[in-house]
Amino acid sequence: MKDSLTLQLLGEFIGTLVLVLLGDGVVAGVSLNKSKAKDAGWVAITLGWGMAVTLGVYASSFLSPAHLNPAVSIGMAVAGDFPWSSVLPYSLAQIAGGFVGAALVWIHYGPHWRATKDEATILGIFSTGPAIRSYAANFISEVIGTIVLVFSLLAFTRGNFTAGLNPLVVGVLIIAIGLSLGGTTGYAINPARDLGPRLAHAVLPIANKGGSDWAYSWVPIVGPMVGGIIGAALYLLIP
């Protein structure tokens, strides 16, 4: 099945949809008023995102390599493990999956948007934002987080994991990045995870929403792409 580009793109779309549905979903549950998970905190969010990535990979790996992230796709291309010609189609499928996943979160939490008046809280469910706005520092945070992600993913290919275990290890990696490095920017480390939902926030008729903070949006796009390239380049230095 993985020999067909169409099926690969379907896999990337489905996997990223699941990733964002569950990832943005946990943020919505923790953040929206009158949610039973309200104020569960950062640990719940990082655990939720880690499991979201794991399940997104399991849901799509029978169709595609389950990158679910343009920074991973470009990192794999730099490392020579993925064709450059597929980077753009994969990225578009991933962004589309992120958009639909975010739209489903909006539908799922329907009445809770009206119960939540804070615009920043609503935007934070869909896209990342800085704890302290400093574009240079925020950019560096995204670069570092994605270096860790892509370098580790490539290193995992040299490991001898039991069949089917790799997605669980990737989930642990995402949790570790979130707990250790995510406090500065919310650790997008994935342009599709941020851009797709940010587009959904911009176009959907979400109650009480404000602007989509497009002035910041380049950070979680460019930072992870640069980090993916550097992470792959560092991996190639290892004989």
Q: What is the pLDDT of residues 88-119, one digit of tens each?
A: 999 999 999 999 999 999 999 999 999 999 99
Q: What does the alpha-carbon distance between residue 122 and residue 227 come to, in Å, rounded to a whole number?
A: 27
- If you average pLDDT over residues 19-31, what whole number do you get? 98
CB within 8 A of 159, min separation 6: which ones?
none
Helices (H) and strands (E) in the chain, counts: 10, 0
Token pair 């980090």: residue: 227
pLDDT at residue 2, as a whole number: 60
User: If you average pLDDT over every residue of the chain, what do you get?
Assistant: 96
39 pLDDT tier (thresholds 50, 70, 90): very high
Q: Rounded distance, CA 142 to CA 129, Å?
A: 11
Once rounded to an integer, what is the mean pLDDT over residues 201-225?
98
Contacts of 214 (CB under 8 A, 6+ apart): 198
pLDDT at residue 199 greater than cutoff 80 = yes
User: Mean pLDDT over residues 160-172, rounded?
Assistant: 86
Q: What is the average per-residue pLDDT within 48-72? A: 97
The structure tokens listed for 96 are: 């589309």
Nearest to 22 by CA among 74, 64, 59: 59
Does residue 80 carry a pLDDT above 70?
Answer: yes
**116, 33 contact by CB (below 8 A):** yes
Q: With 80 as the cut, is the pLDDT of residue 127 above it?
A: yes
Q: How far out from the chain centre does Cα 24 lie?
A: 9
Among 70-79, 151-160, 186-195, which stretch is predicted with the lowest mean pLDDT? 151-160
Q: What is d(CA 45, CA 29) in angstroms, rounded to the nearest whole number? A: 9
Task: Examine the pLDDT at 230 and tell me if it is beyond 50.
Answer: yes
Q: Express the helix, strand and coil content of the chain in percent, nearest 5 each.
A: 70, 0, 30
Whether the predicted pLDDT of 224 surpasses 70 = yes
pLDDT in the model for residue 164: 80
pLDDT for 1 equals: 45
Q: Is 206 left (phi over 0), alpha (psi -120 to 50) or beta?
A: beta
Question: For 138-165, what is the mean pLDDT?
Answer: 91
pLDDT recorded at residue 157: 87
Q: Which residue has the tokens 């008729």?
A: 205
**Domain 5-237 listed as CATH 1.20.1080.10:** yes
Which of helix, strand or coil describes residue 149?
helix
Distance CA 89, CA 189 (A): 19
If you search the block for the tokens 């990979």, which residue do you land on? 57
